[in-house]
Amino acid sequence: MSVLVVLEQSGGNFHRMGWEAVVAAKELELPVSVATIGPAGAAASKGVDKVYSIEHAELTTYSADGYTAALEQLIRSIQPQFVVFAHTYQVRDYAPKLATRFGRVLVSDVVKLSRTTAVRQLFQGKLNADYTLPSEGIRFVSVQAGAYRGDALGEGTPEVIPFAPELAAGTIRVKVEAPFRESSRQVDLTTAEIIVSVGRGIKEKENIAIVEELAAALGGELAASRPICDNGWLPMERQVGSSGQTVAPKVYIAVGISGAIQHQVGMKGSKTIVAINKDPEAPIFEVADYGIVGDLFEVVPALTEAVKKLKG
Amino acid sequence: MKIVVALKQVPSRDSSLRVPSGGSWIDEADVTYEINEPDAYALEAGLQLKEQHGGEVVVLCAGPEGAAASIREALAKGADRAIHVQEENLNETDALGLGTVLAAAIRAEAPDLVLTGLQSDDLGSGQTGVVVAELLGLPSATIIMAVEVQDGSIRVKRELEDGWFQHITLPLPAVLTIQSGINRLRYATLMGIKKAKTKELRTVTVAELGGLPAVQVHREKVYLPERAKQTQILEGDARTAAAALADKLKFEVRVI
């Protein structure tokens, strides 16, 4: 029995979540090998069994078709019992395709893994669920960001094995262009010491003013969860989360933010987290140091006033 | 252009979720339902493409009898007709099972484009669209923020992590999973609601679509997560709690 973890890299920069997936895979207590599309790079000095370095001219740019075909061939050749991914945007794009090609189910976005069971979050983190994995055949699993600590992976000298897949003409059906950023960021939330962040609970654009006043009273930056920026109520550059900025201020005050995982990955490194939310079951309270369960339209103005009073 | 939009009915965001002890699903007694938000954006994207390029939008929804309310809502917003794969316990199946049923329904329609949301707000496995694409042998792209129709192909803007994007061109037919926020959602008009009552809503069973494959991954138990941190909840009315929090920010967190 063995485990294959698929790492993600771009120009030699390995996605940090890949190491987290390796640490999760080690929970299975089976030999863990990794696959990288491109040179072995940093993977060659990690504490894993083998590194399969998949090289092909048509794989220098990511495509779901190309990656699926190449990994299908590697998996058929080495026949692991578990194939583990990090639940990144790229993995979401091709891993379900790969698992389906084997007639298997991808158990996605798991927060805990053992040989027999995977734990997943339901309802945007409000509930957990235990899933029983099949006892035979290839088990495909992707691991949620931050569920395991990537720095727990030690050093090693794995054997590096080149793997050259054969990609038939027409395998890659899509034309992929170079990644780009929308505009240079005017706001750098990553250097802010205090962030006051607003979410769906604010209900209307006009109401954001009360949160802005709190941020001003504290001398902090205003930020938001995704739905606020989607609505165009605040610019995208103020968005915190997996598709926005990742921040780690001294204090992060989440106002009316339920705390779905996509938001949490962008802020859970904050030194102190404060949550103001009317729903005591909101997942944000799972990571909060301080919480107020209440109506933000009463709490926020009262907090602004109290802060101003303390500042004199 | 013929567009199939696959949408799911899910418990509303504000629903209070109760789990029967030892249960494998929530107690649905007091739950209200809505169209899964990313699917609502997929529907809007489909309606806009139809308005720009002509054609037809067919809504596909697999779910219990009550899911018909969400289907009617989609018809009221402007979809032309709908297919309801009616099955009571579909949430016991896994991603491959659901994908198999949807793919069978889509195959019979032979659309140019299939749209769905990037994930569901309840199970959140985030893979239905991609599984369906693979089962149909079609190219797919996920987390899509813009769709531009070209001659025989589509050029889409895909969201990457950390504020990056990328354009991809796919030949048609293709499957896209749509990100929330791609467009502004429309409301159903009174006229739309009236018209929806006369639109075709065809009900099919899973058996008619060839049945479900064996479940590979079983959900055994649903429960409230344990807290990672001990949260200090500041009690009292808004004023009292806010004053206590300001004190903490000054004397413990030291940011005031």
B129 neighbors B6 (Cβ within 8 angstroms): yes
Q: What angle do CA A234, A240, A244 make, to 5 degrees?
A: 90
Judging contacts by C-beta atoms under 8 Å, the chain A residues touching residue B185 are none
Nearest chain A residue (CA) to B252: A272
Distance CA B108, CA A64 (A): 25
Angle formed by the axes of helices B68-77 and B37-53, nearest 10°: 30
Distance CA A304, CA B93 (A): 49
Per-residue pLDDT tens for B226-240? 876 789 999 999 999
A303 neighbors A281 (Cβ within 8 angstroms): no
Q: Which residue of B8, B121, B249, B251 to mutate against A (max A Cβ within 10 Å)? A: B249
Which pLDDT does position B56 carry in this prediction? 98
Q: Name the nearest CA neighbour of A159 among A47, A2, A59, A274.
A: A47
**Which residues contact residue A233 at a Cβ distance below 8 angstroms, ignoring those fewer than 6 apart?**
A205, A208, A224
List strands edge to edge, sheet with A194-198. Answer: A221-224, A194-198, A251-255, A272-277, A290-293, B232-233
Share of chain B above pLDDT 90, in %: 86
Q: Of A147, A163, A179, at which residue does a domain stop? A: A163
Residues A210 and A263 in one domain: yes
For residue A170, is it within any domain? no
Which pLDDT does position A249 carry in this prediction? 94
Residue ranges of chain A with pLDDT lower than 70? 183-185
Residues A37 and A143 in one domain: yes
The radius of gyration computed from the CA coordinates of chain B, to the nearest angstrom, equals 21
Residues A55 and A135 in one domain: yes
Residues A288 and A243 in one domain: yes
For residue A153, is it within any domain? yes
For residue A177, is it within any domain? no
Q: How many structural domains does chain A have?
A: 2
Q: Report the CATH number at residue A153.
A: 3.40.50.620
Domain that holds residue A260: 189-311
DSSP letters spanning B101-129: HHHHHHHHH--SEEEEESS-SSS----HH
**Tokens coding A135:** 């006892």
Q: Name the nearest CA neighbour of A249 among A285, A218, A295.
A: A218
Q: Report the CATH number at residue A232.
A: 3.40.50.1220
Which pLDDT does position A146 carry in this prediction? 87
Residue in B126, B223, B241 closest to A108 by CB: B126
Q: Name the nearest CA neighbour of A36 among A160, A144, A145, A213.
A: A160
Residues A128 and A212 in one domain: no
Residues A62 and A148 in one domain: yes
The burial of A169, by beta-carbon neighbours within 10 Å (0-12 exposed, 13-18 middle, 19 or more buried), is given as exposed
Q: Which residues of A250-283 are buried (b: 16+ CB within 10 A; e: fewer)?
A: bbbbbbbbbbbbbbbbbbbebebbbbbbeeebbb
Measured in angstroms, the CA of A157 and the nearest CA of chain B are apart by 31
Q: What angle do CA B194, B120, B212 make, to 5 degrees?
A: 90
A209 neighbors A217 (Cβ within 8 angstroms): no
Measured in angstroms, the CA of B192 and the nearest CA of chain A are apart by 24
Per-residue pLDDT tens for B88-105? 989 889 999 999 999 999
B132 neighbors B42 (Cβ within 8 angstroms): no
Q: Please give the average per-residue pLDDT across B144-169, as a whole number.
A: 94
First and final C-alpha spacing in chain B: 59
- Which CATH architecture best describes the domain B2-209? 3-Layer(aba) Sandwich (3.40)
C-alpha neighbours within 13 Å on the C-beta side of residue B126 = 29
Residues A287 and A225 in one domain: yes
**Residue A251 to residue B249, Cβ atoms within 8 A:** yes
Distance CA A81, CA A141 (A): 11
A·B CB contacts under 8 A: 250
Which whole-number Å values give the CA distances from B14 to A126, A277, A278, B121, in the listed order? 12, 13, 11, 12
For residue A64, is it within any domain? yes
Q: Residues of CATH 3.40.50.620 domain(s) within chain B? A: 2-209
Which pLDDT does position A188 carry in this prediction? 83
**Tokens coding A40:** 């072995």
ipTM of the complex: 0.93
Residues A33 and A132 in one domain: yes
Share of chain B above pLDDT 70, in %: 100
What number of other Cβ atoms are within 10 A of residue A72's Cβ? 15
**Tokens coding B80:** 């032309």
pTM exceeds cut of 0.95: no
**Tokens coding B241:** 């709690």
Distance CA A279, CA B149 (A): 43
CA torsion, ordered A265, A266, A269, A270, to nearest 10 deg: -140
Residues A141 and A239 in one domain: no
Q: Which residue of B231, B237, B250, B253 to mutate against A (max A Cβ within 10 Å)? A: B231
